[in-house]
Amino acid sequence: MSLSASFEKKTYQFKRPSGTSRGILTEKHAWIIQITDLENPNDIGVGECSIIPGLSPDFQSLEAYEAKVTEVVKQVSFYAENRELLRPFPSIYFGLEMALLDLKNKGKALFFENDFTKGKKEIPINGLVWMGDFDFMQEQIFEKIQAGFTCIKLKIGAIHFEKELELLAQIRTKYDKDIITIRVDANGAFSPDEALSKLNLLSELDIHSIEQPIKQGQWTEMKSLCARTPLPIALDEELIGVHDMSRKKELLDTIQPQYIILKPSLVGGFKGTHEWIELATDLNIPWWITSALESNIGLNAIAQFTAEFDNDLPQGLGTGALYTNNEPSQLFIENGYLHYRSD
């Protein structure tokens, strides 16, 4: 197969500023790769290279990142055959992998044919509550519940911890754990010394799980925390930058988390995600998949991939309405489930 490729840099605008542990986001950059088979030039495969500054391990600057994307599209046939060279660039790996798979399926944005893409299956998802002040977070929580979500995920660490406990307690006053599942994401906000005491307080509110309570890279401290925690811990950032299978296995064997969370743009696309799933399954560690603020191009691919697995846990795929200038999509959300419009 003789290939040619190009890319377009896109800047997506958030509908409203969105608070994360890495600051307030108002826009999101992505590089959209298009690959053509020169023997069948009407078929074009599209993939998204999506980054989050401060989190994506392959992003240092716009100039350096775009230079690497340029190199890959100029030598697309080489990189298509030697994708392992892109392991240190997980978001670019994923964009290339996505585009090649789309091309293989005739450029129809149909990456995996399954019951989800046939409109026969839906994916349970959590409703995401962004960081902000007390009133803003409270507003989002009850918007999500009114919209039919039964699993709510709150990013914590933006306001005083006692105020966050108050927010969570408000949910629990109205809805018990059998009605509303609550997940929290600390993004490494707790110090190892204070983490256990904070987890004890959170556990009193019947929290389902907490993502990354302490910063990644502290395997000994995280292992101790996972062994003593009163509520399940899910590793997220901890998995980023770990590419080698033996190192992945070592991480899971050492820390023994209760869950892992997988973002394809940050862990090396479908292949990297699949490797983590295989290892986690062998160790009886449950997992779920989340988007990393991709546009609808990447979100569509991730959702189709997620549907390949028999996983009833709510996934983190409810980000399709983030942007004012998002791409058209066959995905839609209804009562806390992600659907694919197959017609």
Query: pLDDT digit string (tens) for 283-323?
Result: 999 999 999 999 999 999 999 999 999 999 999 999 888 89
Minimum mean pLDDT range among 15-24, 36-45, 157-166, 274-283? 15-24
Which CATH number covers residue 18?
3.30.390.10
Indicate whether 146 and 275 sit together in one domain.
Answer: yes
| Domain annotation covers residue 56 | yes
Phi-psi category of 138—alpha, beta or left, where left has phi over 0 and alpha has psi -120 to 50? Answer: alpha
Residues acting as catalytic residues: 155, 263
Average pLDDT of the segment spanning 219-232: 97
Indicate whether 281 and 202 sit together in one domain.
Answer: yes
SS3 184: strand
Indicate whether 163 and 237 sit together in one domain.
Answer: yes
| C-alpha–C-alpha distance, residues 333 and 321, integer Å | 10
**Which of 104, 136, 164 corresponds to the end of one domain?**
104
What CA dihedral angle connects 47, 87, 117 and 46, to 10 degrees?
10
pLDDT per residue as tens digits for the range 17-48: 776 656 678 899 999 999 999 888 888 999 99
Give which of 274, 278, 305 is closest to 291, Cα–Cα: 305
Burial of 63 (0-12, 13-18, 19+ CB in 10 A): exposed
Q: What is the pLDDT at residue 299?
A: 97
Indicate whether 26 and 146 sit together in one domain.
Answer: no
pLDDT per residue as tens digits for the range 122-157: 999 999 988 778 888 888 888 999 999 999 999 887
Indicate whether 257 and 131 sit together in one domain.
Answer: yes
Indicate whether 151 and 18 sit together in one domain.
Answer: no
| Domain annotation covers residue 110 | no
**Which of 104, 131, 162 corresponds to the end of one domain?**
104
pLDDT per residue as tens digits for the range 71-119: 999 999 999 999 999 999 999 999 999 999 999 998 889 999 999 999 9
Which residues on neighbouring strands pair with residue 309, listed in sequence order?
Answer: none
Indicate whether 268 and 311 sit together in one domain.
Answer: yes
Q: What is the pLDDT at residue 22?
A: 63
Indicate whether 47 and 175 sit together in one domain.
Answer: no
